[in-house]
């Protein structure tokens, strides 16, 4: 159910915290590109304000933000068709994030599984920003009145919280100002799993580099990581149901399907009966064929940092043009005086 009062608009973001993985690519960026090509207005952000909820070395953050921009472009995002920028250049995100921090309830935040996962037993030592992170994410989306949010499975709860914040704001202020954005979670790889443990998500922050494929890995490294991926001694069955209880095998099938633009059902029908000794080289060749051109293009783009910064600045100007009037109306609805000239 999309709100009809609002023009369809796509917003999504990724943290520039380094090690962009195959999970980010298949779960997010590849789908950002598909939505860009669908003709809807698309706005994609490098969420540096979210990244600093955990410690970031300043030089590394600068590098990672540019590298993420290079990855977006190398994967097919086009700065003319989509608005591409880093979050901190558009101050409306932080301002609306504050207002939403006053709308969201502590009880809602306490249910967020990503905070619990990241904080573990050390919640007391985490930053206040990490705890309030979902309110800023809601602001990212709603400051554009975005209606669709392409994300991986792990972000579903945050988009649902965004809907709750929009609904509470609308209810409290007796308005229908904010839309109810929809998470868009589809494709064969909404949750790419670790290559070392098929029950854990492939993650930027996993201590083992062998657990993930990074978009900057060279062909040899990609092939090596796939060769070393954990599997089991059974051959591949002829249907997906028979992969139940074999999470590592299922993950490799899903990755193959997503990279090749197929359904997992189609892949399993083609490779049934194969041992992993046969299937892994096929997957490695496919992964290298799809990822190497992206890695090469990222390297080329990173050779001209001034151009990347120019693209981000121009994107931020376009983003601010949409966000600022929405923020101003929000202040007004809440009773804040805006009388500066
Ligand atoms: P993050 O790296 O946490 O900023 O995530 C950026 C985007 O990538 C979000 O939409 C995530 O849902 C998505 N994502 C991250 N890891 C994975 C994964 N292992 N599988 C699928 N999507 C993922
Ligand atoms: N929280 C998201 C993640 O960790 C990143 C993010 C921040 C985001 N703001 C967003 C995603 C707005 C979609 C829309 O992956």
Atom of ligand 1 nearest to the CA of 20: 2
Question: pTM for this one?
Answer: 0.95
Task: Spot the catalytic one: 118, 156, 168, 224.
Answer: 118
| R_g of the chain computed on alpha carbons | 21
211 close to ligand 1 (CB < 6 Angstrom): no
Task: Summarize pLDDT for 122-134 with one digit per residue, the tens.
Answer: 899 999 999 999 9
Let me know if 42 is exposed, middle or buried by CB neighbors in 10 A (0-12, 13-18, 19+). buried
95 CB near ligand 2 (under 6 Å): no
Query: Is it the case that residue 1 has pLDDT exceeding 80?
Result: no
Q: Which of 11, 13, 14 is the pocket-test mutation for ligand 1 (most atoms within 8 Å of CB)?
A: 14
The confidence score (pLDDT) of residue 208 equals: 96
Average pLDDT, the chain: 96
pLDDT value, residue 29: 96
Known catalytic membership, residue 168 = no
pLDDT for position 2: 53
Tell me if 47 CB under 6 Å of ligand 2.
yes
How many Å apart are CA 96 and CA 13, to the nearest integer?
16
The Cα–Cα gap between 335 and 234 comes to 65
pLDDT of residue 27: 93
Q: Which residues pair with 182 in a beta bridge?
A: 148
Question: Is 118 assigned a catalytic role?
Answer: yes
Query: Catalytic one among 81, 156, 168, 204?
Result: 204
| Both structure tokens of 63 | 């590098």
pLDDT in tens, 91-117: 999 999 999 999 999 999 999 999 998
Edge to edge, the sheet with strand 82-86 lists 82-86, 41-46, 9-14, 148-150, 182-184
- Protein residue with its CA nearest to atom 2 in ligand 2: 14
Q: Which ligand is nearest to the CA of 17?
A: 1
pLDDT tens, residue by residue, 282-312: 999 999 999 999 999 999 999 999 999 999 9
Residue 150: in which H helix or E strand, if any? strand 148-150
């Amino acid at each position: 159910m999309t709100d009809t009062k609002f023009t369809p608009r796509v917003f999504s973001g990724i943290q520039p915290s380094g090690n962009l993985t195959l999970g980010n690519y298949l779960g997010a960026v590849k789908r950002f590109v598909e939505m860009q090509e669908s003709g809807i207005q698309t706005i994609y952000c490098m969420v540096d304000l979210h990244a600093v909820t955990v410690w970031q070395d300043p030089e590394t953050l600068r590098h990672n933000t540019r590298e993420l921009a290079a990855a977006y472009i190398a994967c097919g995002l086009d700065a003319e068709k989509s608005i591409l920028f880093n979050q901190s250049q558009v101050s409306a995100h932080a301002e609306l994030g504050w207002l939403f921090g006053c709308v969201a309830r502590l009880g809602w935040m306490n249910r967020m599984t990503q905070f619990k996962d990241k904080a573990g037993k050390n919640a007391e030592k985490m930053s206040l920003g990490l705890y309030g992170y979902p309110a800023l994410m809601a602001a990212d989306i709603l400051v554009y009145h975005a209606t669709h949010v392409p994300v991986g499975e792990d972000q579903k709860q945050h988009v649902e919280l965004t809907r709750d914040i929009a609904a509470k704001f609308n209810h409290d202020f007796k308005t229908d100002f904010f839309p109810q954005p929809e998470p868009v979670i589809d494709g064969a790889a909404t949750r790419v799993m670790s290559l070392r443990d098929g029950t854990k998500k492939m993650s930027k922050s996993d201590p083992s580099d062998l657990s993930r494929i990074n978009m900057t890995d060279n062909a040899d490294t990609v092939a090596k990581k796939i060769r070393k991926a954990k599997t089991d001694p059974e051959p591949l069955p002829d249907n997906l149901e028979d992969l139940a209880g074999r999470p590592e095998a299922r993950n490799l099938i899903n990755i193959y399907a997503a990279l090749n633009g197929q359904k997992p059902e189609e892949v399993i029908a083609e490779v049934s009966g194969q041992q992993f000794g046969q299937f892994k080289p096929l997957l490695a060749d496919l992964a290298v064929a799809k990822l190497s051109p992206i890695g090469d293009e990222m390297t080329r783009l990173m050779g001209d940092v001034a151009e990347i910064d120019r693209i981000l600045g121009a994107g931020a100007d376009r983003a601010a043009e949409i966000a600022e009037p929405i923020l101003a109306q929000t202040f007004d609805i809440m009773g804040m005086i805006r009388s500066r000239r």
